[in-house]
Amino acid sequence: MKHFIIGTAGHIDHGKTTLIKALTGRSTDRLKEEEKRGISIELGFTYFDLPSGKRAGIIDVPGHEKFIKNMLAGVIGIDIIILVVAADEGVMPQTKEHLAILQLLGIKKGFIVLTKIDLVDEEWKELVIEDIKENVENTFLENTPIIPVSSTEKTGLDQVTKNIDQLTEEIKERDIKDMPRLPIDRVFTISGFGTIVTGTLISGTFKVGDEIEVFPGNKKGRIRSLQVHDEDANIVEAGQRVAINIAGLKKTDIERGNVVSPINSMQDTMMLDVKIRLLKDIPKIIENRSRVRLYIGTQEILCRIVLLDREQLSPGESAYAQLRLEESTVAKRGDKFILRFYSPMFTIGGGEILEPNPEKKKRFDTKAIEELKIKDKGRTEDIIEKIIEDKSREFPTVKALSIYTAMTEEKIYSEVKKLEQQNKVIDFSLLKDIYVIHINYFNYLKREIEKELERYHSENSLKLGMGKEEIRSKYFKNIKPKVSDEFINLLINKEVIEQNEKYILLKGFQVKYTKVQNEIKGKIKTIFNERRFSPPKYEEIVKEMQTNDSEVKEVFESLLDRGEILKLKEDAYILRETCEKAKSILKEYLEGSEFITVSQYRDLLNTNRKVSIALLEYFDEQKITKRIGDKRIFIGNIEENE
């Protein structure tokens, strides 16, 4: 079902609140001071039942320039705007400022109501209408109806109602499957209920019982109950004015400007990449690092404008910039915002969020500016591709990208699959997470690892390969081991590299011995064969070889890497063939006995106690035997372990 929000805008005392009361029968002024002074200070809310049967929410914003902050908090999420101009005064300063704000926020639908026509004659009324037409030229209200109304005499109200009803047919249905977001415009408590927040649900849906988080900050709660237009609801959808009773949070935990969204769905930020457009008629040039007031959602924040591609920005111009905030916020790509000068306060322009969680950018960085151009004009698919490329070093998950972009995981996953089909990204699943990297980063890492292995093989010709942990520490810092393992598996599957136990080597690499090295290898193996179950220590081999220690060491380590010699424990080595023979003897013995002792095994091998202990401890590690006191029992299938 479509839901709509209607908003009023215009100068103070031009009859906005009176018009709403005449249309709905309800006053939106709720403060005693408002009733006493006859002006709107805070936002007012009510609803309107249209002739077609549709119910629309109505937001009444204050018209005084002192309360422009409140006006900006109200216009977020408006679908149809009614610009109110009093016939006795015509277009006034706040009429123009409100219209400029609405234009900057991208509102597309609306019309004009000329109020208080009972106070002027026909000739004056026509002059005011002409003035209005001139002031709305080149805006979304150009050529829209101007409906004369007297709220006190009830004239023209039917035409206003009819016009609203017609415009609701033209409103696009909001995406209720998108990430739920409710910028808070009011927070209060009700005795017996607790904390209540209100706002316009600008996307997605909430239901009673949902776990929520109030951003920015780590403030989590649960939806106890929901209301729309003073009526209880189990579920609320984008485009509705919503009141949420939040369990688990106090009023002091929340303030206007915060956003209600699912837990861990957004990310706080102190910077925003944006495209700024200044109004044509402002009396000021904006210099780099100018301090301004940012209005985003229902929040007001002080910030500085860092111009990325120029030194200053003149009225009517646009530019890419990074806003450096004085307090944190949350946002989504495509969100609109307003900028007002710090002092004296007046609206200078606005723009659109291009990157809600950027890294700090240097000015005049050509690459950074080109990336912003893509995010400014590209398709969603292009933008997500760019983000994946930027974040690939972190091996982001679909969930992380969802938080980073404030898009649903389903939307991100759908776009990732499109990019995968175009061979632009690579994704892989591990448990519940789906990791994504850009093909450019995959190819970069692939080349770097290949070059590193080529260098390593060249410098260590007798080494089977580079240690896997060394590869991890060099190319996958701060990345989970399982994720780096999956990347290595990708390279193995693509036949770029091979893995031999703990070693990584280039596909097809083989250790090649020189003639001298082959002779050393043969002598080492001969010594081990001669000593069998009483194998030599390394120092004994070097002494017996009577040759260069470094050459012996290189060949010996190569035989260890290749598994031709096994290390049982520190300074205890044995030929693999000899170890297999020792295992066969153990198997044969245990087939006819329940256990074996160190002494029994020592006697079987005709060796010393030290070697028999080293062998049995090695078999314990291999899960073939298990030590119980001074005995070993059989627990594994020896044949399977061979």
Residue type, 133: K
Residue 553: band (very low, low, confident or very high) from pLDDT cuts 50, 70, 90? confident
d(CA 473, CA 300): 44
CB 215 within 8 A of CB 258: yes
Q: Which two tokens stand for residue 533?
A: 């179950």
Q: Are strands 194-200 and 205-207 parallel, antiparallel or unpaired?
A: unpaired
Q: What is the 3-state secondary structure (H, E, C) of 485-550?
A: HHHHHHHHHCCCEEEECCEEEECCCCCCCCHHHHHHHHHHHHHHHHHCCCCCCHHHHHHHHCCCHH
Kindly report, residue by residue over 241-274, the tens digit of the pLDDT: 899 999 999 999 999 999 999 999 999 999 999 9
In this predicted structure, the answer to whether residue 525 has a pLDDT above a threshold of 70 is yes
Q: Phi-psi category of 234—alpha, beta or left, where left has phi over 0 and alpha has psi -120 to 50?
A: alpha
Lowest mean pLDDT, pick from 1-15, 42-56, 86-100, 398-412: 42-56
User: Residue 70's pLDDT band (boundaries 50, 70, 90)?
Assistant: low
Separation between Cα atoms, residue 639 and residue 308, nearest integer Å = 69
Residue 37 scores a pLDDT above 80: no
Calculate helix-pair angle for 93-104, 68-75, nearest 10 degrees: 40
CB-based contact 552:524 (threshold 8 Å): yes
Q: Which of 25-39, 322-336, 520-534 has the lowest mean pLDDT?
A: 25-39
CA distance 195 to 188: 6
Q: Quick check: helix, strand or coil at residue 184?
A: strand
Cβ atoms of 586 and 600 closer than 8 Å: no
Would you call the peptide bond into 216 cis, given omega within 30 degrees of 0 as the criterion? yes
Asked if residue 113 lies in contact with residue 85, where contact means CB atoms within 8 angstroms, the answer is: yes
Q: Which residue has the tokens 């609140």?
A: 17
Decide: 194 and 246 in contact? Cβ < 8 Å.
Answer: yes
Q: Which two tokens stand for residue 579?
A: 């170890």
* Residue 471 clears pLDDT 80, i.e. is over it: yes
Question: What whole-number percentage of the chain has pLDDT above 70?
Answer: 94
- What's the pLDDT band for 500 if we cut at 50, 70, 90? confident
Average pLDDT in the chain: 88
Categorize the per-residue pLDDT at 505 as very low, low, confident or very high, splitting at 50, 70 and 90. very high
Confidence band for 482, pLDDT divided at 50, 70 and 90: very high
Say if residue 39's pLDDT is above 70: no
Q: How confident is the model at residue 636 (pLDDT cuts 50, 70, 90)?
A: low
pLDDT at 430: 84
Helix axis angle for 398-405 and 380-391, nearest 10°, is: 120
User: What tokens does 144 get?
Assistant: 């829209």
Is 301 in contact with 272 (CB distance < 8 Å)?
no
* Cβ 214 vs Cβ 254: under 8 Å: yes
Cα-based distances in Å from 534 to 434, 574, 595, 607, 631: 53, 9, 23, 6, 22
Q: Are 462 and 554 in contact (CB under 8 A)?
A: yes
pLDDT confidence of 71, banded at 50, 70, 90?
low
In whole angstroms, give the CA distance from residue 96 to residue 101.
Answer: 9
In terms of DSSP H, where are the helices of 315-408? 366-377, 380-391, 398-405
Contact between residue 23 and residue 48 where contact means Cβ atoms under 8 Å apart: yes
Q: How confident is the model at residue 1 (pLDDT cuts 50, 70, 90)?
A: low
Instruction: For residue 80, give Cα distances in angstroms to 166, 167, 186.
Output: 11, 7, 21
Looking at residue 427, the DSSP 8-state letter turns out to be E
Cα 55 to chain centroid, rounded? 35
Name the pTM for this structure. Answer: 0.76
For the stretch 142-162, pLDDT in tens is: 999 999 999 989 999 999 999
Strand pairing report for 466-467 and 503-506: antiparallel
H/E run at residue 358: none
3 state SS for 73-97: HHHCCCCEEEEEEECCCCCCHHHHH
On the question of pLDDT at 642 being above 70, the answer is no
What would the mean pLDDT of 272-286 be, rounded to a whole number? 94
Q: Are 101 and 93 in contact (CB under 8 A)?
A: no
